């Protein structure tokens, strides 16, 4: 029997990034008992690692706007993806042949991990403180011989375990059944092999690959064979990343993060740093105020199970609309017209009656009357399934914005950036680090704030840090999307987008409240959905909704405004989670022929890769985290097409060397021989570890910028 090892990336697959890590699972949730069934209650939501039945099942998920938390990958010849699912959705997938293999994170975990982190921080303050080989098609039965090229062969050792990763391409690109097996040999003579899996993207063959495989020691030879008889030349695997930063001096200060931080906490931290380091810090108020932690007040008038309207305030709930009452009444007289009145914060609809005095108004008529007669105060839509039904006498119902955060200010939000350096006048090369474009990625502002505080705290005691602040102008936006982040902390952990609701009609039904908003990292201008690139959506309920137009959102406008206002910025890092990627442009392509944005020049590609080695090496210094070589490279090659992302606009339009981090690498579980995901809001010990290692990566990016500027001056 032929075992097909294949995974095809759907052209429209977008949402988040995920990858790998090989360090002990300190502070993270314990792996589930492999014998225990994985299940959710019907109303529970979680990030679930699911082994899908086949490619068709993945295609259906993508077409229906499923919330994919990573790029699906091949494991043991099957497609595995991390999905944000309710219990009902998981049951449906299971009934269709999928298998849940890991609960990465439950919806309530984020709140618990945040509370745990805060309690732990308060306590510290008070105290003063594998892949089994599949069947291979017989070479004798092959009708053609292909040629194989080893594109990647890298190894590394972390926490006592050595890993090998390979990527091989065949010239038989149109044959979906070609199987490739890698054979390896170590310095002490041990040998072994593992299968690779076919990877297609947007219908185009790319290569065969596998997740990093454990090997007993340093591999010294690798070769590949195919089921068509092709044999690659033998190569010597290369040590990855083969770069490390300068050693830290005695007394170097770090570890400034002791809890998850809400946008309110971040605002306070920015204020404190500006006060504490007046000679090294400016605070920049970015020009576009966001909507703020606000929503329209809404309620059901009637019974959604029988007949009902959705009535919504035109103004936000905090603008004196929360608590407004809406009701329908029977006038108690015959031959009365349908009327609408508003008095003393009560919207009253008096239903029309017939000659017998029976109410005769339909749901559609009542909605139309409210919209026509109170357009400045209310919007009404007919609930799904209620069109044309008799409108019942109902209410009063109280409108409410549904927001649970009592400590979040209900007003437009001013997004702030920190500017760090001795010379904050544009005369030095600039570096931008920005995070939390996606609200649910709680660890990302911990990275940028840890980085900022390291630079400031060591400026007076460490000559090397002082030199960096003399030579580099640093900009940090800890939270690009504060409104969505406030909603994620207080209302719905898995909120990805901002809080601006561009939906119309039935999509404004409050049952969709956790799906409203714009994906900030799909709202930029280069390679956008509006220009025909894939990886974003026009569906306002999609996790990667691109908005009404390019730069329609205040949040994306702020990132670009900062870069435009400071043309000395030549390097930028967009910090996301979860998954252990290190990426750069191009980040988008057109589906027809998989035509990417223009590739960087040879010199720029070399700079991107060499800098990546340095930065990945710096990340690994903290706790052995290694970002896989297969997940280091252009976004469109190692992840998927992400139409309208910020890095592409910074690079192609403003000439900035723009990268993307994905923090929160998968961990290797030696008990199961599997890589396991950590989620968007892991237990704080894991998030703290991510903040420490990736802050080190940002410090190395500053060194990269310094060296680049020095070379430019010398040239």
Q: Enumerate the active-site residues.
A: 662
Cα dihedral 541, 544, 548, 550 in deg (nearest 10): 170
DSSP string for residues in 548-564 = SSTT-SHHHHHHHHHHH
Question: Burial letters for 338-349: b for 16+ Cβ neighbours within 10 Å, e otherwise?
Answer: bebebeeeebbb
For residue 7, give every residue at least 6 positions away whose Cβ sits within 8 Å of its Cβ, in sequence order, or none.
55, 72, 73, 74, 79, 197, 198, 199, 200
For residue 621, give every residue at least 6 positions away whose Cβ sits within 8 Å of its Cβ, in sequence order, or none.
244, 245, 693, 696
SS3 49: strand
Place of tokens 């049951």: 91
Sign of CA dihedral 437, 439, 443, 448: positive
Query: Is beta strand 204-209 parallel, antiparallel or unpaired with respect to 429-435?
Result: unpaired
The Cα–Cα gap between 396 and 415 comes to: 39
SS3 242: coil
User: What ranges in 1-132 are assigned the alpha helix state H?
Assistant: 55-63, 87-95, 109-127
Whether the Cβ atoms of residue 584 and residue 571 lie closer than 8 Å to each other: no
The Cα–Cα gap between 187 and 218 comes to: 6
Residues constituting the chain = 715
Name the residue among 417, 423, 712, 463 with its Cα closest to residue 570: 712
Query: Is beta strand 148-158 parallel, antiparallel or unpaired with respect to 204-209?
Result: unpaired
For residue 471, give every residue at least 6 positions away whose Cβ sits within 8 Å of its Cβ, in sequence order, or none.
428, 429, 706, 709, 710
């Amino acid at each position: 029997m032929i075992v097909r090892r294949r995974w095809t990336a759907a052209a429209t697959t977008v949402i988040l990034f995920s990858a790998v890590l090989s360090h002990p699972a300190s502070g993270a949730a314990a792996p589930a008992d492999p014998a225990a069934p994985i299940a959710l209650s019907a109303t529970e939501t979680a990030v679930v690692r699911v082994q899908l039945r086949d490619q068709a099942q993945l295609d259906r998920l993508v077409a229906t706007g499923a919330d994919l938390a990573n790029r699906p990958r091949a494991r043991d010849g099957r497609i595995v993806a991390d999905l944000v699912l309710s219990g009902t959705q998981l049951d449906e997938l299971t009934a269709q042949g999928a298998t849940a293999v890991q609960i990465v994170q439950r919806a309530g975990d984020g709140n618990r991990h945040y509370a745990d982190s805060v309690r732990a921080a308060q306590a510290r303050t008070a105290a003063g403180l594998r892949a089994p080989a599949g069947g291979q098609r017989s070479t004798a039965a092959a009708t053609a011989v292909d040629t194989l090229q080893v594109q990647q062969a890298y190894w590394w050792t972390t926490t006592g375990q050595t890993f090998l990763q390979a990527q091989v391409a065949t010239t038989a690109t149109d044959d979906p059944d070609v199987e490739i097996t890698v054979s390896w040999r170590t310095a002490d003579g041990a040998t072994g092999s593992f299968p690779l899996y076919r990877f297609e993207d947007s219908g185009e063959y790319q290569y065969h690959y596998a997740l990093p495989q454990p090997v007993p020691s340093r591999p010294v030879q690798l070769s590949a064979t195919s089921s068509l008889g092709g044999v690659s030349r033998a190569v010597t695997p290369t040590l990855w990343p083969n770069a490390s930063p300068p050693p830290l001096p005695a007394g170097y200060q770090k570890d400034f993060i002791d809890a998850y931080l809400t946008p309110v906490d971040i605002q306070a931290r920015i204020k404190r740093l500006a006060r504490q380091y007046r000679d090294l810090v400016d605070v920049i108020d970015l020009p576009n105020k966001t909507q703020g932690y606000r929503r329209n007040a809404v309620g059901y008038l009637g019974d959604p199970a029988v007949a009902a309207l959705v009535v919504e305030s035109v103004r936000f709930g905090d603008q004196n609309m929360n608590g407004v009452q809406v009701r329908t009444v029977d006038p108690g007289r015959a031959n009365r017209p349908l009327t609408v009145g508003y008095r003393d914060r009560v919207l009253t609809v008096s239903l029309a009656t017939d000659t017998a005095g029976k109410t005769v108004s339909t749901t559609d008529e009542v909605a139309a009357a409210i919209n026509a007669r109170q357009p400045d105060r209310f919007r009404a839509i007919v609930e799904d399934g209620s069109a044309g039904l008799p409108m019942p006498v109902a209410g009063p119902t109280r409108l409410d914005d549904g927001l649970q955060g009592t400590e979040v200010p209900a007003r437009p939000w001013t997004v702030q950036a920190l500017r760090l350096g001795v010379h904050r006048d544009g005369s030095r090369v600039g570096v931008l680090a920005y995070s939390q474009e996606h609200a649910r990625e709680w660890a990302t502002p911990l990275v940028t704030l840890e980085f900022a505080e390291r630079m400031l705290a060591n400026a007076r005691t460490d000559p090397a840090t002082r030199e960096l602040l003399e030579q580099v102008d640093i900009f940090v936006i800890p939270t690009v999307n504060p409104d969505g982040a406030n909603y994620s902390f207080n209302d719905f952990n898995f909120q990805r987008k901002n809080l601006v609701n561009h939906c119309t009609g039935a999509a404004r039904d409050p049952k969709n409240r956790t799906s409203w908003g714009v994906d900030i990292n799909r709202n930029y201008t280069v390679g956008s959905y509006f220009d025909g690139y894939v990886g974003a959506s026009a569906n306002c309920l999609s996790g990667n909704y691109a908005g009404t137009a390019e730069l329609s959102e205040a949040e994306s406008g702020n990132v670009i405004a900062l870069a435009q206002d400071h043309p000395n910025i030549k390097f930028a890092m967009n910090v996301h989670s979860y998954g252990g990627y290190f990426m750069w442009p191009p980040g988008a392509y057109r589906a027809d022929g998989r035509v990417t944005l223009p590739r960087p020049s040879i010199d720029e590609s070399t700079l991107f890769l060499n800098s990546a080695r340095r930065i990945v090496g710096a990340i690994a210094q903290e706790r052995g985290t290694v970002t896989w070589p297969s997940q280091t490279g252009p976004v469109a090659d190692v992840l998927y097409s992400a139409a309208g992302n910020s890095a592409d606009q910074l690079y192609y339009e403003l000439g900035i060397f723009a990268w993307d981090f994905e923090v929160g690498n998968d961990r290797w579980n030696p008990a199961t021989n599997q890589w396991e995901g950590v989620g968007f809001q892991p237990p704080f010990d894991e998030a703290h570890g991510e903040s420490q290692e990736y802050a080190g990566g940002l410090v190395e990016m500053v060194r990269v910028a310094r060296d680049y500027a020095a070379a430019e001056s010398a040239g």
